Amino acid sequence: MEISVTKLILAAVTTCKETVSGVPVFYARNQDEQEWITKTLSRVLEAVAHDLGNGTYILVRH
């Protein structure tokens, strides 16, 4: 039987360092860089990018 993990936060991409901890965090210097990193990670990890609205994107495997 195959076991897989779903609904898992794989990484966070933020411009606001103090808002995230506990997962792999990628810091971006500005919003353009943040969107680029988020897009790249979402494709590589096959995850969906969600915007938390506080300057942080999370990448979640559903």
Partner 1 sequence: MGQELSAIACGVAAGTLARYLMLRRDFRQYPSYPHAVATHLALGFVAATMGAVAVPAIVAKEYTAVTFLALAATQFREVRRMEREMLQALEHSELVARGKDFIEGIARTFEARNYLAIMISLVTSGTAFFFGIAAGLGAGAVALALCKALMRGKLVKDIALVRPAEFNFRGPNVFVEDIQIMNLGLPEVREVYTKRARALILEPHNDAAREILANVGQRQAIAHDAAALLGVYREVDTAEFTPLLRRNPDTGRVGMLIVPIEPDVKCLVTAVENVPVLESAAVNPLASRAGRCAAD
Nearest-CA neighbor of 19 among 42, 46, 53, 45? 53
Minimum CB–partner distance for residue 21 and partner 1 (Å): 19
Confirm or reject binding of residue 8 to partner 1 (CB under 8 A).
no
Bridge partners of residue 49, in order along the sequence: 59
Contact by Cβ (8 Å): 34, 17: no
Nearer to partner 1, 20 or 57 (CB): 57
Note whether 17 binds partner 1 by CB under 8 A. Answer: no
Binding of residue 42 to partner 1 (CB under 8 A): yes
CA 51 to chain centre: 9
User: Of residues 15, 25, 27, 35, which one binds partner 1 by CB under 8 A?
Assistant: 35
